[in-house]
Structure formats: C-alpha cells, structure tokens
Amino acid sequence: MKQRFKSHILTIILLGFIAIPVSAQKYTNGLVDKTVALVGNDMIQLSTLESEVQMMLFQGVTSDKNLRCEVLENLLVQKLFLTQARLDSLNANLDAVEGNLNQRIQEVMTQLGGEKATEEYFKKPLYKIKQEWRETLTEQSLVQTMQSNIAQKAPNLTPADIEKYYKNTPKDSLPIISTQYQYSQIVLYPNKEEAVLAVKEKLLEFRERVIKGEKFSTLATIYSQDPNSASRGGELRMASKQLYVPAFSDAAMSLKVGQVSQIVETPYGFHIIQLIAKEGDMFNARHILLKPIYTSSDRAKAFSELDSLKRLITSDSITFDLAARRYSQDIKTLVNGGLVAEENSGSTYFDKDMLNPTDYKVIAELKVGEISEPFESVDNGEKGGNTIYKIIKLNKIIPSHVATFKDDFSVLQNGAKSLAAQKAIDEFVTRKQASTFIRIDPLFYNCPFKREGWFK
C-alpha cells in the first residue's frame, strides 16, 4: 500500500537554506559580531546565527518560542555531529556538495536578478560567496553522513517489535491511511497533426508581426497560454538556463538581444522566444506559448469509440483488461490491462491528492466495478498536460482508516524504524553533550532549549 503519512524524523535536518556567513557586522544595538558558542574546537558566530534566522523568516518559518534560541540549539547539535564525523574520518560527498552549491547559486541569482545583483546584495564577489557556501555545504554533508551512520546502527526490528510498537502507540498517534483508489483506464489521443499545424501557423504569424514592428509583449499578453508570464507581456525574468528544459534554454541562449526565435517545441507546447538580456548562464526572455487545440470532431470521434468499447465490456463481449491491451493508446498502462500505477513506487493505489483533479471527480462518482462515461482529461507523462480522452473502471476502494497491524504492517514498520533511529540519534547527542567542551554566551542563558545539558 502506498504510504501516505508523516513518519518520525529520521535525522535532525539542517535548517532550510544554508547558513550564509556574514563578515563582522554591527547590529542595531551596537553589538559587533562575535562568537556566541564553542562546541569542542568549533565556533558559532552571532552573524551565522542571525543569517540562519533571517533565512528562516524569509521562508515564512514562525516559532511559538524564541526563534534565535531554536536556531542556536540546532547549530549546537550540528556541531556535535560534525565533531564526531571528523573523529571518524568521514568524507563529504564532494559531487553532491558541488551539485547543491550550483543549484543554490542559480536559485539565489534567479531570485535576485543575476550575478551583479547577487554580489551587491551580499556585498562580496561571487567567488567569495561560493567559497563560503561550499564550506557550509561540506559540513552539512558530513553531518548528514554521521546522522545516517548512527541511524543505521539502530537495532533490527522483528515482527514482534512492530506489534509492540503498534500496541504501545496511542491510537490517536498512529498514522491515518487516506482513502485509496485502484483503477484502470483506456486512453485515446486526438489526431495531433492538424492541431499542431494550426499552432505553428499562428506562431509564425506572430513572429512576422513582431519583425514588422508590433510589440512582442502585447501579443504575449493577448495570446500566450502561459498564465504566469502572459500578464507580464510574456517576460520570464532573469533566471539560470538550468531552470528550463534544454530545448527552450538552448534556443533562448542562442539569440541576440531583441531577436525572435523560430518555433521551439517543449513538453509544454510550442513557443517563440524574444531575448531581453543575457548574463553568463542566465537570461531573461519573453515568450508566447501555444498548445494544440483540438476540434469538437476530434472529441466526438474519440467519445464514440470509447462509448462503443464500454458497451462491449458491459455486455461481456470483451473484458476491460483485454480492451485496454488492444485499443488503449497509453503505453504505460495498456500492457497491464489498463491498470494505473504510480511511477516511482509502483503502487496501484492512489489517494485523492495523487490523482488528476479531473480524474478524481469522475472516480468519486463511481462504485467499485463501474465504468465511467467517456471524458476529456490530460496525461501525466513527460509531456504532461496533453489532451486525452478516456474511460475509467474503478477496481477497488480502501476506506480511510487508522493503520492496523494486520493491513498496514509496512506502514507501521517504517514508523517503528524511524522511532528507533530517532532514539539512537537522541542518545548520541546526549552522550556527546556530556563528553564535549561546550560554552554558550550569557546572552543566551535564558533560552528555553528543548534539551538539557548545554550549560555546564
């Protein structure tokens, strides 16, 4: 069964964004940056603490208690793991560090508007920002490896242990399994050639009009089917090319400022692009997106065929399984007789939030064993959003319920494993608190830390 609940935290996650070190800054009360805690040989600077807090506030994180105290305690815990990781001669995953660094840099530059804007915001050159963030991410990698090693040392659990966990956990604390649906489908795609041709002719017309002097932004506002950018005249804003599918970014990066591209096909439809600015691996562009629009005759033809298949199935002339294998055009499900499975886990059970809203609306009206009327939907493949026509058979419903030992063993097993791993991590922190030199600035003596043992 698909597991749809929040388990116990396996590891103590490092706070949202990376800590961004700030050079000796002054605060509103005149306090100059200083060391606010020592954990072994590692220092925690006030500037690092403030930067973490600012990042969390920026993300919308709130706290019922003193947020700075919570951040400091998390930093203290991280330093304990880091100290042990060094003692154990653990190595950071440098490939992952570089990958995360590049992703963070691109995200920040996209948000701030490019390399120059980023350097102005942080008041330091980009190479210095990368150097500081690389160090922080390397420490983060070591901490995560250390936490994983500790979690893996938790004892293996037997079925008896899982049953004990189930019986000892209050019923209102057990995971709630959402209502699960299992269904099969027969899918037909409309004739794409004529619709694509019409879209391309329209985009070529727009391109010609821009070349003759019309504003690209005006056409984008009126005609583009990308709602996020159409209201801005098709403008996407400065962003890393890595945030776009290669076909789109390659076309945009090949343009000169003001130049309009030829038609570009992506999984989202067909585009023409006008370059506004380019800076290193970043660009800002406008685009007009059009998607193939199918005619009522396409819909009627598909509905007629699906309706005929439904009549054959309900009259027992053919099974739904065999009809799907013979006539469905969805290659992902036809080999399974139309049975739909989640791509990552392979589970054939879906809760409401996992389903396409259009599909769920139809499924919710069916009884087990019933077949829907033909309806229009969109696919969920690589080119998600393409128009499709389908009928659905509801195979099974598992009502929402509190997890039980008999029916949801794997869910409970994961919960018990998570709890055991968290216990091992907590015990490690307690031991390291007792054996590590720790000093905290009096400024934080009144902090309501969750753990005891910080002050000696």
Q: What is the pLDDT of residues 303-359, one digit of tens each?
A: 999 999 999 999 999 999 999 999 999 999 999 999 999 988 888 999 999 999 999
Mean pLDDT of 6-15: 29
Residue with tokens 């309009």: 260
* Residues 38 and 78 grouped into a single domain: yes
Last residue of a domain, one of 290, 325, 356: 290
User: 431 or 110, which is more confident?
Assistant: 431
Kindly report the average pLDDT of the chain as a whole number. 87
- CATH of residue 301: 3.10.50.40
Q: How far, CA to CA in Å, does 65 sit from each of 71, 77, 243, 445, 447? A: 11, 18, 37, 15, 9
Q: Which of left, alpha, beta for 29 (phi over 0: left; psi -120 to 50: alpha)? A: alpha
pLDDT at 58: 60
User: 225 or 19, which is more confident?
Assistant: 225
Is the pTM higher than 0.75?
A: no
* Residues 383 and 456 grouped into a single domain: no
* Residues 42 and 62 grouped into a single domain: yes
pLDDT at 107: 83
Burial zone of 32 (CB within 10 Å; 0-12 exposed, 13-18 middle, 19+ buried):
exposed
Q: Provide the percentage of residues in the chain whose pLDDT is more than 70.
A: 90
pLDDT at 265: 95
Q: Tell me the per-residue pLDDT of 176-202, one tens digit each, with 9 for 90 and over.
A: 999 999 999 999 999 888 889 999 999
Question: How far is the C-alpha of 76 from the C-alpha of 336, rounded, in Å?
Answer: 52
* Residues 17 and 88 grouped into a single domain: yes
Provide the number of structural domains found in the chain.
Answer: 3
Q: Provide the percentage of residues in the chain whose pLDDT is more than 90.
A: 63
pLDDT at 60: 72
* Residues 253 and 370 grouped into a single domain: no
* Residues 392 and 413 grouped into a single domain: no
User: 207 or 443, which is more confident?
Assistant: 207
* Residues 14 and 104 grouped into a single domain: yes
- Count CB atoms within 10 A of the CB of residue 426: 13
pLDDT at 213: 95
- CATH of residue 115: 1.10.4030.10
**pLDDT grade, residue 65 (50/70/90)?**
low
SS3 38: strand
Q: Which of left, alpha, beta for 400 (phi over 0: left; psi -120 to 50: alpha)? A: beta
* Residues 149 and 48 grouped into a single domain: yes
* Residues 206 and 303 grouped into a single domain: no
- Count CB atoms within 10 A of the CB of residue 160: 8
**pLDDT grade, residue 18 (50/70/90)?**
very low
Last residue of a domain, one of 399, 418, 434: 399
Mean pLDDT of 428-451: 93
Question: How far is the C-alpha of 268 from the C-alpha of 7, rounded, in Å?
Answer: 35
* Residues 218 and 125 grouped into a single domain: no
Q: Best-predicted range by mean pLDDT among 118-127, 149-158, 160-169?
A: 160-169
Last residue of a domain, one of 353, 381, 399: 399
Print the domain residue range for 380. 180-189+295-399
Q: How far, CA to CA in Å, does 282 sit from each of 38, 241, 279, 306, 313? A: 40, 6, 5, 47, 54
Q: Tell me the per-residue pLDDT of 119-146, one tens digit each, with 9 for 90 and over.
A: 888 778 888 888 888 988 898 899 999 9
- pLDDT beyond 60 at 13: no
* Residues 344 and 438 grouped into a single domain: no
Q: Tell me the per-residue pLDDT of 254-272, one tens digit each, with 9 for 90 and over.
A: 999 999 999 999 988 999 9
Mean pLDDT of 223-237: 94
* Residues 409 and 391 grouped into a single domain: no
- pLDDT beyond 80 at 61: no
pLDDT at 4: 34
